Structure 1
Amino acid sequence: MNIEIFSSPGCGKCGHAKVVLSELANEIGGDKINWREVNILEEIDYAVELGVMTTPSIAIDGELIFLITHKAPPYFDNYTIIIL
């Protein structure tokens, strides 16, 4: 599985998303996931080609997935709820 996270410098939500997704990727099995961080300022043409309109955005196997993240209630132990 190929996962790309699109971010921009200074984006606070991007940093949080990277941490959460990295933890999830490690739980799934790091050897099963190819991880790549994409700075949209450096790769704007690619980001536009996929349809990235905001950061953070995530593509899985070349398909853009739009996410809305919310801080989870305390009983979820610091996980973030991801609504697709």
Structure 2
Amino acid sequence: MSIKVEIFSAPNCNICGKAADLLEKLSAEIGGDKINWRKVNVVEEIDLAVSYGIISTPSIVIDNELVFTSLPSSRKLRETLLKRTDNTQ
């Protein structure tokens, strides 16, 4: 079973691209079959962003829970993803 990860970004948010790149890299390292992720444009999906209480980008939602409201360190995101996927690398 995979976890669902959504990165909420805005069109002019430079750091949002870094968040997506980091998640793509970590997803490949951990196992792409364990993480189902997508980038969400807050302008196009404002109702979804509001439903999670997102007020800044990038924000990261994991399994319908707002987990990060800014770009986490690579280590912190990795730890969180591993914990959520029950992976003990």
TM-score by length of 1: 0.79
SS at match of 2:54: coil
In proportion to residue count, which structure has more strand?
1
Aligned residues: 76
Equivalent of 1:25, from 27, 44, 69? 27
1:4 counterpart = 2:6: yes
- In structure 2, stretches of 5+ residues that fail to align are 81-89
3-state DSSP of counterpart to 2:43: coil
Task: After the TM superposition, list the runs of 4 or more consecutive aligned residues in structure 1 that deviate by more than 3 angstroms.
Answer: 67-71, 80-84
Alpha-carbon RMSD: 2.1
Question: Counterparts of 2:38 and 2:63 in 1: how far apart (Å)?
Answer: 11
TM-score, structure 2 normalization: 0.75
AA at the equivalent of 1:50 = Y
Unpaired runs of 5+ residues, structure 1, are 72-79
